[in-house]
Amino acid sequence: MLAGSNARILRYIVVAGIILIFFYHFSGSRYDTLPRPVPAPDHAQAASQPSPPNDEATTAGRPVDSTQKSIPADRDRPNSGFPKSVSASTDAAASTLADIDPGPRANATFVSLARNADVWDIARSIRQVEDRFNRRFNYDWVFLNDKPFDDNFRNITSALVSGTARFGQIPVEHWSVPDWIDEDKATKVREDMKERKIIYGDSMSYRHMCRFESGFFFQHPIMKNYDFYWRVEPSIELFCDIAQDPFRFMKENGKKYSFTISLLEYVDTIPTLWDSAVKFIENYPQHVAADNSMEFLSDDGGQTYNMCHFWSNFEIGSLEWMRSDAYVDFFNSLDQDGGFFYERWGDAPVHSIAAGLLLNKTELHFFDEIAYFHMPFTHCPNDVQSRIDLKCHCNPKDNFDWSRYSCTSRYFEMMGMQKPDGVD
Ligand SMILES: Nc1nc2c(ncn2[C@@H]2O[C@H](COP(=O)(O)OP(=O)(O)O)[C@@H](O)[C@H]2O)c(=O)[nH]1
Ligand SMILES: [Mg+2]
């Protein structure tokens, strides 16, 4: 009897042991696929130059001494280097991006121009950028505003940004009407555009915004700490994981300007922009690149503009290029002609014409893998396997690239790039 119950107890122990081993094994392998925490950067390292009095930096809501040194470019991380690919999607552990070492960083920042009232819309954008990319890389984020940022804006945004959040006020001379502009003439233009129902045609603040983004954002003292920028607007979406660092890609491949969406500009907003560009070419032939992208901008060898431009609400670009004599001469030349106020020149065609004329083709880049939405257009990568590997949630049917209003097809032709099957 006693021997029988001992044997039963022994059987219970053996069965319990097997169950324990079974649970340990399966729950353990599941936890292995959770992201490893990425070591946070040393947030105590901030700007390498003293910031102006209005500018402050915070990290997760905590004030940071903005007079301290910036994070050095290319700070080495242990085991740095790009993964060959992230395509091992059936291997759950390998597909966890946090397991892939991010590699050395570029000296770069996100930048958002925003009003205090934009706080929730920019918060949505930040969350997307952090989740899809920056939680692994911890790049800084610069917020610029023509008015002082309020505490609510500062607290909400800096809690979301994994790098250092920095806040700058725009100097009044970068957000006002220059003295060579005839204000009566500019007022009449706005009234006329209002009647003709041209989008933002009667808005003065939109004009300041376009002029600031065209010629001044890269000159802000906070931006002078960085070599590359990534512009983020309120209410954008990112549909895919960004596995490799676009900043590092730009730097290592000599890229100066990049895009995800291109399209045709609304003619009535820029009737004389091309005339100004042609005048610039005549006055500054030394700034025009030998292997420029005139084919992208013009269908008749430069006589007229075909309205093609890169959509500048997304851009990753070189601040060094923007601060070069070539770009600054280009902007000043356009600015003197007054079209930011006498018409409604957008920063997108201004940046695009500059990139097309001043840069060699090899310095431009199309980021196919950055799946992006800004009302009302979407870029969704064509390749099925890439969408799976990068955990994309965009519907490829929404992709704008091959629409007749997009200029991406023309870009592919100029660059000799292969278009997807079925696209002509
Ligand atoms: N500080 C500030 N930012 C502005 C103002 N107007 C527009 N912006 C910002 O400029 C960018 C472009 O404006 P948005 O309204 O998105 O223009 P859209 O994308 O062309 O329709 C966004 O980042 C806005 O937050 C303004 O008057 N002040
Ligand atoms: Mg916008």
Residue 206 alpha carbon, nearest atom of ligand 1: 6
How much distance in Å is there from the Cα of 189 to the middle of ligand 1?
21
Q: Which of 56, 315, 363, 369 is catalytic?
A: 315
Any idea which fold 108-415 has?
Spore Coat Polysaccharide Biosynthesis Protein SpsA; Chain A (3.90.550)
Closest ligand to the CA of 209: 1
347 lines ligand 1 (CB under 6 A): no
Beta carbons of 187 and 202 less than 8 angstroms apart: no
For residue 112, CA distances in Å to 128, 218, 278 come to: 14, 12, 31
pLDDT tens series, the chain, 424 aa: 444 555 565 565 555 555 544 443 433 333 222 233 333 333 323 333 333 334 555 444 333 333 333 333 333 333 222 233 333 333 444 456 666 778 899 999 999 999 999 999 999 999 999 999 999 999 999 999 999 999 999 999 999 999 999 999 999 999 999 999 999 999 999 999 999 999 999 999 999 999 999 999 999 999 999 999 999 999 999 999 999 999 999 999 999 999 999 999 999 999 999 999 999 999 999 999 999 999 999 999 999 999 999 999 999 999 999 999 999 999 999 999 999 999 999 999 999 999 999 999 999 999 999 999 999 999 999 999 999 999 999 999 999 999 999 999 999 999 999 999 989 8
CA distances from 109 to 125, 225, 373 (A): 15, 9, 20
How many other CB atoms are found less than 10 A from the CB of residue 363?
A: 20
Two tokens, residue 26:
């399966």
CA distance 25 to 35: 19
Does residue 51 contact residue 166 with C-beta atoms inside 8 Å? yes
Is 315 known to be catalytic? Answer: yes
Task: Say how many Å lie between the CA of residue 232 and the centre of ligand 2.
Answer: 9
